[in-house]
């Protein structure tokens, strides 16, 4: 598996996300690691590894893009160095008028009969 430090480009901006920004974003959304994993369509161990990164989050490009897109869709703005802010530095901000994020749910058949109906 290839891990990268990358500048992600979403919308009009490009940025890198740090482990602290990821934890702060989860706190703003009031969600735990499991819910973050569901929201980004990633595994819980992947979220845990990302949050355990020292500084900039490391991961494969697809996972990082899923994570940042999920945060963006949930109303999180990543603030990077050089962006106008009162104190400077990195951070996160929750956009106004954002409803609580809804994780992507996959139907889980509970029986062989449900499996048959799903086909």
**Per residue in 47-88, pLDDT tens?**
999 999 888 888 888 999 999 999 999 999 888 776 666 666
Q: What is the pLDDT of residue 113?
A: 53
Fold of 8-118: 434 Repressor (Amino-terminal Domain) (1.10.260)
Q: Please name the residue that has the structure tokens 């029986």.
A: 111
* pLDDT for 84: 65
Q: In the chain, where are the structural domains located?
A: 8-118
Q: Could you tell me the pLDDT band of residue 39, with boundaries at 50, 70 and 90?
A: very high
- Locate 119 and state its tokens: 């086909």
| pLDDT above 90 as % of the chain | 42
Tell me the three-class secondary structure of the chain, residue by residue.
CCCECCCEEECCEEECCEHHHHHHHHHHHCCCHHHHHHHHCCCHHHHHHHHHCCCECCECHHHHHHHHHHHHHCCEEEECCCCCCCCCCCEEEECCCCCCCCCCCCCCCCCHHHHHHHC
Best CA proximity match to 26, nearest among 88, 92, 81: 92
The per-residue pLDDT for 114 is 53
For the chain, the average pLDDT equals 77
How far is Cα 64 from Cα 118, in angstroms, rounded to an integer?
A: 31
């Amino acid at each position: 598996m290839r891990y990268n430090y990358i500048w992600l480009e979403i919308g009009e901006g490009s940025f890198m996300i740090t482990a602290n920004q990821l934890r702060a974003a989860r706190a703003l959304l009031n969600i735990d690691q499991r819910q973050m994993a569901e929201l980004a369509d990633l595994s819980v161990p992947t979220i845990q590894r990302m949050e355990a990164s020292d500084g900039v989050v490391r991961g494969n490009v697809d996972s990082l893009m899923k994570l940042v897109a999920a945060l963006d869709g949930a109303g999180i703005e990543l603030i990077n160095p050089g962006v106008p802010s009162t104190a400077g530095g990195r951070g996160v901000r929750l956009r106004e008028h954002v409803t609580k994020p809804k994780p992507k749910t996959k139907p889980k058949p509970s029986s062989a009969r449900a499996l048959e109906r799903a086909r």
